[in-house]
Each structure stands twice: as structure tokens, then as C-alpha cells.
Amino acid sequence: MRNTLKLIATALIASLSLVANAQPDGRIVRSKRQWIKERRPELMEMLRSQMFGREPGKAPDLHATILEESADAFGGLATRRQIKLSFDKEEKYYLTLLMYIPNDRKGPVPAFLGANFKGNHATTTDPAVLMPTEDKLATYAPGYQVEPRNTNGHRWEYEYILKHGYAVATFCYNDVDPDFHDGFHNGVHQLMDGDKPRDGESWATISAWAWGLSRCLDYLETVKEVNAKKVAVIGHSRLGKTSLWAGATDQRFALVISNDSGCSGAAIARRKFGETLEVINRNFPHWFCDNYKSYNGREEKMPWDQHELIAMIAPRPVYVASASEDDWADPVGEYFSLVGAASVYKLFGYEGITDRKVPEIEHPVVVGRMGHHIRRGEHNVRLYDWQQFVSFADRFLK
């Protein structure tokens, strides 16, 4: 946070021209209609062709098989359901969705949906959660080690979420596309593209994870205990970049949360603070489409910036969370993308976060349909974060 405060001045300068309803040629989008009909499609085209790549449509044969179900999860608090969600008839491509649904419910409940890093079993102490399957593990990065149960349990406050009346669903991101540069041979690119040659606009791995989130939403639309019109998509870090892109491309998501999403997520690229495009594209060449690499070291030449990704979520509620020690993700830049997107929320008649003073640590701010906080501490997801997400979601999804 010390750094954060020091950077306010820089942030002000860097963000002065970043207003999402202004086009690069200086024209201002003045109406909701103009945003929806002209500018949003134009930006969508830009983000697809220059950053995430062009995602395909639905899966050829999406179908669900319940692998396990029990109403006694967490001492009877919830029903646990584990689902094999297959994308093709042969069931070669699938993810395993872990769902908890609160037992104390009157009708269909709202839900949180997010991918996880280390497998469903690593999100909880619940001993009934299935371990990753051998056929899936064979596609993961060479040398991949299965983590013990509950390794990332602190990131998934299931009991807290369930007690507040939400269902929660998660899957391991590697199931959709393994997180290493495998030339797009493992994972859903193969299924959806076959042998089609790749080009600069071909979809990459973040786009594939976002596609997976949308397929889970297709499934949630068939689950009677869940209100699929009230699903919040959430993600941490690289999966926070993913939740923002899922929220932009799939307007069925009712609310979007990014946690510590940083570079190429919520953080304004032009600030070049913490991780830069050159670094992210070098270390993770499979995350974005090839055209994105042409902006390495040329952030100021980008015909968009990340506040416009946030604006694509408008008018749906959006929450951006940061952590005070997470300089790599640039908390100031993450905050300023909200400020930059507020003008678009305004076009829809909603207030947004416009204060150019970065909020203090652990002083959550909610204005209109935007929410923000900086948690004290490291790059992670903690109970404090979930408390803010749930209270934000309560305003819109209850």
C-alpha cells in the first residue's frame, strides 16, 4: 500500500485520457444505443482480434452425467453434486464440475461459478470430492504433480457462501485447456478447431477457459435448483483475467468478479507497472492470441486499454478486488480501470466509481453497479474477499 499511495500521482496522469466512452479518434459515445450498436461491437472485435482470439461457439455435444451426489455435504448444509460435463459425443473432452447447493432454500438460488487451479479436491476438506482422473492428468503439463486435498481450500469459502444462500460451482482449469504451451494440442482447441491452421487471431488459452465457463453456464441453465439468470462469474489472477473475458463475451453472466487479475485483466496496461505485456507474453505465450504480442513494449500504441474490457460488462455489476502487497498486479491500475469504465455505466443510467483517489486498504467501495476493495496482504483469495463479494452479490442477485 505504501507503493500504492506513492503511485497515486502517476495513476492520475496515466489515466486522464482513459474514459471508456471516448474512442481513439476522440469521438465520444454519447448514448446507450450508440454504445450497444457501434462502440461495443467495435471493441469486441478489437479484443477478439488483438488480445484473446476468436472463441468458437457452443460445444458440439454438451451433455452432463452425474458422477456422485449427496445431500449431506458440510454436515447437511449443502447438496454436493459432481458432474462430468462432456463437450463431445465420445466424451473425450470434458471437465468435472463440483457443485454445492444450499439445502436451506425456497426456490432456485443464485450461484458463484469459477475455475480453480489445482483440482476440485484441492478446494476443500470434503473427502468425497473426486480426485483428478488419469486420462486428464495425462494431458496436463509434463511433470504435473497432483496436490493434496484442501491445498487451496482457503480460496473457496464454501460454507460461508452456502450459508449466505448461494450455490457454488467450480472445475479445474486444466480440464478445459492445460496451462502450458502445448501448441494447442491438448485441450478444447483440438476439439473445436481440428486441424485448422492457426493465425494471429486464433483463440488461445484464456479464451478457452472463458469458453469453459460459458459451457458450465449452459449446464447451469438446466439445473432446477439454480437460477441461471443470477450467476456470478469469479476468478483469481489468471482466472480473474478469464472471468472478465467470460463476462464480456457471455452476457448471460449476471455479475462479474475479478480478484488480483492484474496485467491483461483489470490493470491499465499503459501504466506498465508490475507485469508488462512483454513479460506476460514471454512467460505465458499460450494465454493470448499471437497478435497481442505485437504490443509488447508498445502499450501506449494499443488502440484500447483494460478499462474498456471492464466497460464491456456494463450494465451488469462488476467487482474488482486487489491485494495491498500485490504490486505485480498493480492495484492502482486495477482501480483505475473501474474509474475509466464508469462513463459507460453512466450511459446506462448507473453511477460508477469515479473518485480518482485510490481507496484505503480494506475500505470497500460500492457505487452503483461497481465494487472495489484492496485487501491487506498478499496475492491470494481470502475470507475477507469472499465477504465483500457475497455482500456485493446480495445487492443484485437476491
Residues that bind ligand GCU (CB under 6 A): 237-238, 262-263, 275, 280, 328
Cβ 334 to ligand GCU shortest distance, Å: 11
The sign one gets for the Cα dihedral 163, 259, 252, 19 is: positive
Cβ 204 to ligand GCU shortest distance, Å: 14
Q: Compare residues 162 and 381 and give the one whose CB is closer to ligand GCU.
A: 381
Q: Compare residues 110 and 274 and give the one whose CB is closer to ligand GCU.
A: 274
Cβ 246 to ligand GCU shortest distance, Å: 15
CA distance 87 to 97: 13
Q: Compare residues 80 and 241 and give the one whose CB is closer to ligand GCU.
A: 241
CA distance 177 to 190: 10
Cβ 263 to ligand GCU shortest distance, Å: 5
Q: Compare residues 80 and 238 and give the one whose CB is closer to ligand GCU.
A: 238
Amino acid letter for position 216? C
Element (H, E) at 308: helix 306-311
Is residue 257 within 8 A of residue 319, CB to CB? The reply is: yes
Give the DSSP letter of residue 131: P
Please name the residues in contact with 37: beta carbons below 8 A apart, sequence gap of 6 or more. Answer: none
CB count within 10 Å of CB 300 equals 11
Q: Is 379 a catalytic residue?
A: yes
Q: Compare residues 152 and 237 and give the one whose CB is closer to ligand GCU.
A: 237
CA angle 373, 379, 380 (to 5 degrees): 85
CA distance 181 to 193: 17
CA distance 19 to 307: 8
Q: Of these residues, 86, 207, 214, 237, which one is catalytic?
A: 237
Cβ 97 to ligand GCU shortest distance, Å: 21
Cβ 317 to ligand GCU shortest distance, Å: 23
CA distance 360 to 78: 36
Q: Of these residues, 49, 63, 202, 379, which one is catalytic?
A: 379
Q: Is 237 a catalytic residue?
A: yes
Q: Compare residues 187 and 235 and give the one whose CB is closer to ligand GCU.
A: 235
CA distance 374 to 361: 5
3-class DSSP state of 158:
helix
Is residue 368 within 8 A of residue 301, CB to CB? The reply is: no
Residues tagged active-site: 237, 379
